[in-house]
Structure 1
């Protein structure tokens, strides 16, 4: 094994799932009170999820914004997305000690990120802000590929970009379908972050309490 492929959200950072908790500025840009904005935004978001879920197709923030604000100009839509992402990012929390962990792992393995996300710059931006972007050989995102994990093609794109067979990689993440069973179906070893041991279908030896367990598991 030569490579570690990481999920991002819930694995390399903690975050609040769902919409931005206090979308004050983005609600104002939509000319709506914050409470009404959340109801309408969630309804639009779930409509996109319903259309894309069966085929694991990915949609972008601009897709949702365009149907949510159909009369807005491209520039206004881009500005709206920037504001909403900034408000959503308030729920992202960096893990103390993670840069040192990744730096140590990079001495033994090549590293990559394979993440579901609706915004192309979101994961690379966080990696840069964390000071670890240079440790990764590749960052592959669902919005870039057009499908989300666990669609096989997103893992295949990552393996092709890295120039390795599936047997050379271990996948680490916190979602059983996307980060454990999906990669395993292609022949990768997988490890699931499952601190509460909620997923009995995953063998105990393949579970981690956090990403910081990796050095001992891979030793």
Structure 2
């Protein structure tokens, strides 16, 4: 019997691609004197390339952008702090995010998040989605001093929820950090399809979060 559902954040609950585009557009418009010698599309395209789906931290992204586009009067720290302050205001959830989570809670499912990332930034984004109060536990790699795919971070989440691996489902978009890692500790796994990855060895594949309701039903 399934008693708990755990989720990855970026690419699973948070539509990071759409959120990032909104943040970049907003940032571009906030600094017209420094950035408007570059076309918005060029700035956005290069940012997304350098960002590498979030696996490159933004200090390196901004350092490269400043160098490539000869950006004046804006330092790496200035742009990085702007990113940290404003991303939370552009967080876009995937379709049926809130209805799915609320339906799971109504079924008395325990809910958790396991996310790689920086503590304050990821918590701000969870709050930006308006979902923090729906979760029984939230583990962020920097706070835990552990990163997926380390099995210990999954085991720690299960312990905090008071369930066994066999009683839990993990939902994520990354074939290794999410699916393979959760499988490795004995959890059932759901791969939320992502255009950045071709496939994953999950128990179930979904395209919409709402499909989880049938899986745990």
- TM beyond 0.5: yes
Structure 1 stretch displaced more, 6-15 or 151-160: 151-160
Distance in 2, Cα, partners of 1:89 & 1:159: 27
Residues of 1 paired with 2:147 and 2:4: CA distance?
21
**Is 1:4–2:5 an aligned residue pair?**
yes
Corresponding residue number in structure 1 for 2:66:
none
**Residues 49-128 of structure 1 aligned to structure 2 (within 5 Å):** 81-89=80-88, 92-108=91-107, 109-117=109-117, 119-128=118-127
Structure 1 residues 91 and 125, CA, compared in 2 at 3 Å: closer, same or farther? closer
Counterpart of 1:172 in structure 2 is 171
CA-CA distance at 1:209 after TM superposition: 1.3
Counterparts in 2 of 1:121 and 1:25: CA distance versus 1, 3 Å: farther
Deviations 1:116-173 (A, max 9, x none): 11x2123322333333221100110111122321111221221222232222211001
Query: What's the CA shift for 1:82?
Result: 3.4
Residues 1:212 and 2:195 are matched in the alignment: no
Structure with the larger helix share:
2
Matched residue, 2:145: 146
Equivalent-residue separation in structure 1 for 2:182 and 2:139 (angstroms): 14
Alpha-carbon separation, structure 2, partners of 1:11 and 1:132: 13
With the length of structure 1 as denominator, give the TM-score of the two structures. Answer: 0.68
Q: CA deviation at 1:87?
A: 4.9
**For the residues of structure 1 that align with 2:116 and 2:186, how far apart are their CA atoms?**
20
Q: Is the 8 A contact 2:89 2:128 kept in 1?
A: no
Q: State the SS of the aligned residue for 1:94.
A: coil
* CA 1:24–1:165: 2 relative to 1, 3 Å: same
SS in structure 1 at match of 2:148: coil
Name segments (4+ residues, structure 1) moved above 4 Å.
Answer: 17-20, 22-28, 32-35, 76-81, 87-91
How many residues are treated as equivalent by the alignment? 193
Conserved in 2, the CA contact under 8 Å of 1:195 and 1:210?
no
The answer to which of 147-156 and 126-135 deviates more is 126-135
Check whether the contact 1:2–1:169 (CA below 8 A) recurs between aligned residues.
yes
Q: Measure, in 1, the Cα distance between the counterparts of 2:81 and 2:162.
A: 34
